[in-house]
Every structure is written in C-alpha cells, then in structure tokens.
Amino acid sequence: MKRIVIKVGSSVLTELNTIAKERMLNLLSLIAQARQKYEVILVSSGAVAAGYTALKLDRDKHISKKVLAAVGQPILMSGYKNKFDIYSIDTSQILLTEEDLDSRTHTKIFQQIIEKTLENGILPIVNENDISTTPEQLFGDNDQLSAHVAHYTNSDTLIILSDIEGLYDSNPKNNPKAKIRKIVNKITEEELSQKFTPNSRFASGGIVTKLKAAEYIMSQNMEMFLCSGYDLTTAREFLMEDKHNKGTLFSQKTKVENKT
Ligand code: GLU
C-alpha cells in the first residue's frame, strides 16, 4: 500500500475565529476514503487558531502564542476525535520539534512510533510542538515539517491542502490572468527568496514555505501535490482517480508538458 502525508493549514481549518466544522468534516470524509487505498498520516496546523477561539491573546507575542497553542491543541484534537468517531477511526497525537528528527536515534524513535501506529490502524495526527520549544528548535511552519515527516516515514507523496489552488505563474492578486502551473520540476532561488506571505493571521506559512517544502521533497525524489483545502474535489480526483485536473504537482519524475 502506498503511504501519503496529508497536510492541512490553519486557514482551511478555521474561519472567523472558530473551527470550520464543515471543512473539517469534508477533510475527514476524504481521509476515510483515502485510507482504503493508502496509509495516511495527517499533519494538522490549527492549534494556535483553535486556542484563539477560547482565549483572545496576541498570537504575535512569543509566550501568548505558546499559551494559545497549549489551549488550542486539545480543542483541535477533540474536534478531530468527535468527527473521526463517525468513521470509527482512532487517532494518535504526535507533537514534534526539529530535535525529534535531528539524530538517528531520535528519528528512529519517531519512525517506530509511526510504524506501530499505522500497523494498528490508527491515524497519526502530527503537529509541531509549539509549546515547549525555543525558536531554534522550531520548524516554524507545518509545510516544511510535513515534508520532513513525509521523508522520514518513507511516504510516496505529500499532499498540501491549502488556501490557494496551486502555484500560479504570476501573482493572482495582481494579475487576474494568472494561471496555475500544473507540473513543476524545479524551483528557482528567486522564488525561494520571496517575502513570506501567509494569507491567514494564524498561519505561519505562505507560498515560500510551500516551495521550500516542495524543494526538499523533490530533492528526496518524492512528489508533492498542492491544491485547495476548501474544495476537496481536486485532492479527491488526484488521490482516488489518478486524475490531475487542477492543483500543482511538484515532481522530478513527471515532465512539464510542452506548450504548443
Ligand atoms: N503549529 C501551528 C499551529 O498548530 C501552525 C504552524 C503553521 O501554520 O504552519 O497552530
């Protein structure tokens, strides 16, 4: 069975300071379906955003952000638990820092936990451990964390469900004619050095962190698919029907189609 990592961002999981229940339900239905074909690992952001639903602290302040994550992680997980119960899927919570993947011994422990969890039919839900880490120990965003998780768990593909539908050939905010690039084999230095641009107040990533994740994934000879987390049609087609209509596939194995 192929193994995939699905990463979902805060902007997809929350709306107007509450958990976006319907989107979460749609995501869970996709995961339940995908588990018939793949071993699935979920990387989920949203702890800080969920914390803010209970406590209005300033997320830009270092300690306040940690408090929000501490308050929000159980809110997020209970949201998942209630909804996964509908599908009789048991979940595990795995909170990671960079240090958990910084040595062979640590990495092996992480890998063994994931293997045992999957072997027992449990869905691992991974997030960065925002609570106890210093800035040096943080991945900082779940795009890059999910790329590392995909690599160290020997996954085949990383799926990033985002607030954008793919990588555009120019900035869609300034250019209404911007088109989604279907396949990307290479990411340039210029693209990687753009300013960080998260669209949501609670997200740490933006297109640059997604490109960094994609670059890492391609350097490991794996594939990453970036598509909408709001409407899951594209992700479902890609995963369940091997169809690639929208979304961007970052891959060195698939060649970019020549324009005629
Ligand atoms: N770990 C953070 C959270 O759960 C999110 C990091 C990110 O947005 O990439 O809120």
pLDDT tens column, 28-73: 999 999 999 999 999 999 999 999 999 999 989 999 999 999 999 9
> Could you read off the pLDDT of 144-197 as tens digits, one per residue?
999 999 999 999 999 999 999 999 998 888 888 999 999 999 999 888 887 656
> 207 a known binding residue?
yes
Query: Which ligand 1 atom minimizes the distance to the CA of 130?
Result: 1
Residue 257 lies in a domain: no
Statement: residue 21 has pLDDT above 90? yes
φ and ψ at residue 223, rounded to 5 degrees? -120, 150
Residue 85 lies in a domain: yes
pTM value is: 0.94
φ and ψ at residue 206, rounded to 5 degrees? -170, -160
Residue 36 lies in a domain: yes
DSSP state of 202: T
Residue 255 lies in a domain: no
DSSP bridge partners of 183: 249
Q: What is the mean pLDDT of residues 218-233?
A: 97
Residue 78 lies in a domain: yes
> Could you read off the pLDDT of 87-109 as tens digits, one per residue?
999 999 999 998 899 899 999 99
Predicted local distance difference test score (pLDDT) of residue 134:
81
In this structure, the residue with its CA closest to atom 6 of ligand 1 is 141
Predicted local distance difference test score (pLDDT) of residue 201:
61
> 11 a known binding residue?
no
Query: In CATH, what number is assigned to the domain containing residue 236?
Result: 3.40.1160.10
Residue 260 lies in a domain: no
DSSP state of 256: P
Domain membership of residue 76 as a residue range: 2-250
Six token digits for residue 168: 């555009």
DSSP state of 101: G
Ligand 1 binding pocket, CB closer than 6 Å: 9-10, 45-49, 69, 127-128, 130, 141-142, 203-205
What is the share, in percent, of the chain residues with pLDDT greater than 90?
77
Count of Cβ atoms closer than 10 Å to residue 17 Cβ: 12
Predicted local distance difference test score (pLDDT) of residue 16:
82
Contact status, residue 75 vs residue 69, Cβ threshold 8 Å = no
Statement: residue 198 has pLDDT above 70? no
Q: What is the mean pLDDT of residues 75-96?
A: 96
Distance of CA 75 to the CA centre of its chain: 18
Six token digits for residue 206: 């933006």
Query: Which ligand 1 atom minimizes the distance to the CA of 209?
Result: 9
The residue whose CB lies within 8 Å of the most ligand 1 atoms, and thus the one to mutate among 14, 19, 48, is: 48
Residue 259 lies in a domain: no
Q: What is the mean pLDDT of residues 15-30?
A: 93
How many angstroms separate the alpha carbon of residue 138 from the centre of ligand 1?
Answer: 11
Residue 256 lies in a domain: no
Go through 62-98 and write b for each residue having 16 or more CB atoms within 10 A of its CB, e for each that does not.
eebbbbbbbbbbebbbebbeebbeeeebebbebbbbb
Predicted local distance difference test score (pLDDT) of residue 171:
82
- When divided into structural domains, the chain yields a total of 1
Predicted local distance difference test score (pLDDT) of residue 203:
59
> How far is Cα 246 from Cα 150, in angstroms, rounded to an integer?
22
